């Protein structure tokens, strides 16, 4: 088992949604309940933050050079003075945006969670501002990523205790044939955020599990684990100029000194790659 090392004493309430920007060699991430967007320089560890008017579920870089963020009710572009709406989600009380990711054609797939614990969440596709509901009956939409051949969508609805696989068609932007790929009911904690490395392995954060795990989606078998000094591990992404370091976000836990900080694991032996960007 590998060990994550402290990178930044962030003091976040609920850090999530890490995205690497190679141009500035910095890591963007969000503090959902702290209502802030962060950018951390990976050389100096200097952290800059911007407040948000509501809880912020995720962020992505945009093809036009901008930054988009998912606030509770929809997708916004960050500006010098605030946030401008790009696409609004259906008005459904008791729901909020959570995690998301872009496909290779620049569409943003954004999930919502049902704050009551029910199955009122959804997975939406946002295509140049047009919002389409793609998957329903979701409780807490979390990590999602696409296979390198653009034929599969891997998806986590945390309370389901399953990592799901959908057949994905890049040209039409559609999904079908939902199947359970990994049953994690026997794992420590619950699956949360997720990323994919250059070889196609899935790296998954364990909420209340003190770790990140790596899985082969072809076999459904676990390949590696990284121990993290915080129980609520939320998200991970490969970053740095050669994409060889896995950066890990965590949430605050009362009485746990190492919680709410950013961690790094530099010896996974794997590398990541750049995220697709949102096409407005």
Q: Does the annotation count 192 as an active-site position?
A: yes
Structure tokens at 94: 């008791």
Q: What is the maximum span of the chain, computed from C-alpha positions, in angstroms?
A: 49
Distance CA 253, CA 250 (A): 9
Distance CA 261, CA 229 (A): 9
CA distances from 118 to 73, 122, 157, 185 (A): 18, 11, 12, 19
Which listed residue (31, 190, 192, 197) is catalytic?
192
User: Residues 100-122, buried b or exposed e (16+ Cβ, 10 A)?
Assistant: bbbbeebbbbbbbbbeeeeebbb
Active site residue ranges: 192
């Amino acid at each position: 088992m590998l060990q994550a090392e402290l990178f930044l004493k962030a003091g976040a309430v609920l850090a999530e949604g890490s995205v690497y920007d190679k141009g500035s060699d910095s890591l963007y991430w969000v503090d959902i309940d702290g209502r802030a967007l962060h950018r951390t320089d990976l050389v100096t560890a200097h952290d800059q933050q911007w407040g948000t008017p509501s809880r912020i579920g995720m962020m992505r870089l945009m093809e036009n050079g901008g930054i988009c963020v998912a606030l509770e009710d929809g997708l916004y572009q960050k500006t010098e003075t605030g946030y401008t709406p790009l696409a609004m989600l259906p008005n459904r009380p008791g729901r909020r945006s959570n995690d998301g990711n872009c496909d290779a054609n620049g569409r943003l797939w954004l999930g919502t969670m049902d704050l009551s614990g029910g199955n009122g969440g959804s997975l939406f596709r946002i295509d140049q501002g047009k919002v389409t509901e793609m998957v329903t009956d979701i409780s807490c939409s979390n990590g999602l990523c696409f296979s390198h051949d653009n034929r599969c969508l891997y998806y986590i609805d945390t309370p389901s205790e399953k990592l799901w696989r959908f057949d994905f068609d890049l040209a039409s932007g559609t999904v079908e044939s939902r199947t359970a790929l990994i049953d994690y009911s026997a794992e420590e904690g619950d699956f949360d955020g997720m990323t994919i490395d250059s070889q196609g392995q899935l790296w998954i954060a364990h909420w209340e599990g003190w770790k990140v795990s790596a899985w082969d989606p072809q076999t459904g078998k676990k390949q590696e684990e990284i121990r993290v000094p915080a129980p609520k591990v939320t998200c991970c992404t490969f970053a740095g100029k050669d994409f060889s370091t896995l950066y890990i976000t965590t949430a605050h836990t009362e009485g746990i000194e190492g919680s709410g900080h950013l961690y790094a694991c530099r010896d996974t032996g794997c590398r990541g790659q750049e995220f697709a960007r949102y096409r407005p």
